Amino acid sequence: MTTLFASAGRKIPRVGKRRICFPITSRAYYGRSQLLIKKLHAHPDLELELMLGGSILLDKYSRHIADDIEAGGFVITASLFNVIEGGNHVAMAKTACLTALEFTNGLHAQDPDIVVICGDRFEQLAIAMAAAYLNKTIAHIEGGDVTGSIDESVRHAITKLAHLHFVTNTDAERRVLAMGEDPRYVFNTGSLDVELAASVETSIANVPVNSYGVGHTVDTTQPFLMVIQHPVTTEVDNRQHLETMLRAVGMLDLPAIWFWPNVDAGTGGMSERLRHFREQHEAASTRIRFITNVPADEFVALLKATACVVGNSSAGIKECSYLGTPVVNTGGRQQGRLHADNVVHVAYDADEIRRAVVAQVSHGRYAPSLIYYQPEASQAIVDVLASMPLYTQKRFHDNVSTSTVRIP
């Protein structure tokens, strides 16, 4: 129970443009939101403000993004260093709190009409909380999905703080409604990632894979694997899972491009481990190239060309559903997420992974699925943000007749 005297007057409907604040805290989020950001910026009735914080200001692949953004004519109203070092849970929690503390000042000063929160990153929940306490209308992109990791909790908690919901599939839509959101404000627009994937024209011939990262040369005109393996915050076997994956890939006859995760909280730990790995498993890694970053369009070109994606990336579930790329999904990270026929789930067992990859490679590409796809996803979001009447007082909406809830 919170009692407080409102400090500010009633939210005055702006006579001029509606002001949108978009907090960007990771490179991945910026990448997938590009189409949306450009359209928000170009819209005649909207004023877009970008706020940067978190890892986007830190890692060597991201630092140039701020320059790019400013060069693109966008307005950056804050660039806040607020990542607390440590690469562990306590640093993660404190980073979230410090991020929200600092963004509060910016959100208060800039006074946006809408704050756009993306996905399920831990610091985005903290920012959503601060925005809610400032009585801002919150728009959330990509709610309602089910996954593993702490992301699962974060995503749904953001939903319960948000006022406008842009989901990517019908399962997610039903869940957001079951959680009590008002149907008038829940929009299934499809996935921005998939929209971006569908729009990419870069061909694999133009991807200079071997100029990125370290390791062995991979011939992308021949069949090759892509491995994308993220650690999971709520699991403790991350290191062992990596070992298992490396063994599995080592047993296969195909060359592999291994995307090394951009770890949160900028630890040098990951690169230490990578180096250690390669030394310990030299034989196993003779056909592997390790890469941490390629441009977004080249990543899609690789997804289109690869024989199989292995690991636990959401790209295997979302982009690959549309692209028809075979996927072997490992472990609990994507567990429960809606997926198309292109995905086979396996546990962290080297032999099981190997067999599944062999089967997927021999199956070849799948027919495209539209479960995550709708044309013009970004435009649909922009239209709602520009024109939807706004509200701040939420109230649980009983979309489910109570008799259908199973009480044990």
The token pair that represents 368 in the structure block: 């495209």
Distance CA 318, CA 315 (A): 5
List Cα–Cα distances, 111 to 8, 37, 38, 77, 115, in angstroms: 11, 19, 21, 11, 10
Per CB under 8 A, the segment of 159-167, 202-210, 285-293, 374-382 that binds a second copy is 159-167
Q: How far out from the chain centre does Cα 325 lie? A: 19
Q: Is 57 in the site for a second copy (CB under 8 A)?
A: yes
Phi, psi of 65 (to 5 degrees): -60, -40
Shorter beta-carbon distance to a second copy: residue 336 or 375: 336
Q: How far is the CB of 153 from a second copy (least distance, A)?
A: 5
Q: Is 87 in the site for a second copy (CB under 8 A)?
A: yes
Distance CA 405, CA 293 (A): 45
Number of residues that bind a second copy (CB under 8 A): 119
- The CA radius of gyration of the chain, in Å to the nearest whole number, is 22
Per CB under 8 A, the segment of 121-129, 201-209, 287-295, 302-310 that binds a second copy is 121-129
Shorter beta-carbon distance to a second copy: residue 170 or 362: 170
Q: Is 240 in the site for a second copy (CB under 8 A)?
A: no
Q: Is 389 in the site for a second copy (CB under 8 A)?
A: no
Binding to a second copy in span 328-387, by CB under 8 A: 332, 335-336
Q: Does residue 356 contact residue 343 with C-beta atoms inside 8 Å? A: no
The torsion region of residue 273 among left (phi > 0), alpha (psi -120 to 50) and beta comes to alpha
Distance CA 145, CA 173 (A): 9
Q: Is 19 in the site for a second copy (CB under 8 A)?
A: no
Q: Is 109 in the site for a second copy (CB under 8 A)?
A: yes
List Cα–Cα distances, 378 to 51, 110, 141, 170, 267, in angstroms: 20, 24, 10, 17, 33
Q: How far is the CB of 44 from a second copy (least distance, A)?
A: 29
Shorter beta-carbon distance to a second copy: residue 69 or 78: 78
Q: Does residue 326 contact residue 308 with C-beta atoms inside 8 Å? A: yes
Binding to a second copy in span 163-202, by CB under 8 A: 170-171, 173-175, 177-180, 183-184
Q: Is 85 in the site for a second copy (CB under 8 A)?
A: yes
Per CB under 8 A, the segment of 96-104, 287-295, 301-309, 359-367 that binds a second copy is 96-104
DSSP 8-state secondary structure symbol assigned to residue 34: H
Binding to a second copy in span 201-230, by CB under 8 A: 230
Q: How far is the CB of 41 from a second copy (least distance, A)?
A: 21
Q: How far is the CB of 21 from a second copy (least distance, A)?
A: 14
Shorter beta-carbon distance to a second copy: residue 307 or 317: 317
Q: Is 154 in the site for a second copy (CB under 8 A)?
A: yes
Phi, psi of 290 (to 5 degrees): -100, 125
Q: Is 101 in the site for a second copy (CB under 8 A)?
A: yes
Shorter beta-carbon distance to a second copy: residue 92 or 353: 92
Q: Is 269 in the site for a second copy (CB under 8 A)?
A: yes
Q: Does residue 29 contact residue 119 with C-beta atoms inside 8 Å? A: yes
Shorter beta-carbon distance to a second copy: residue 150 or 284: 150
Distance CA 273, CA 103 (A): 33
Per CB under 8 A, the segment of 37-45, 116-124, 249-257, 293-301 that binds a second copy is 116-124
Q: Is 116 in the site for a second copy (CB under 8 A)?
A: no
Binding to a second copy in span 129-148, by CB under 8 A: 129-130, 132-135, 146, 148
Q: Does residue 210 contact residue 285 with C-beta atoms inside 8 Å? A: no
At 61, is the secondary structure helix, strand, or coil?
Answer: coil
Q: Is 119 in the site for a second copy (CB under 8 A)?
A: yes
CA dihedral sign, ordered 29, 35, 41, 45: negative
Nearest Cα to 361, choosing from 219, 244, 255, 285? 255
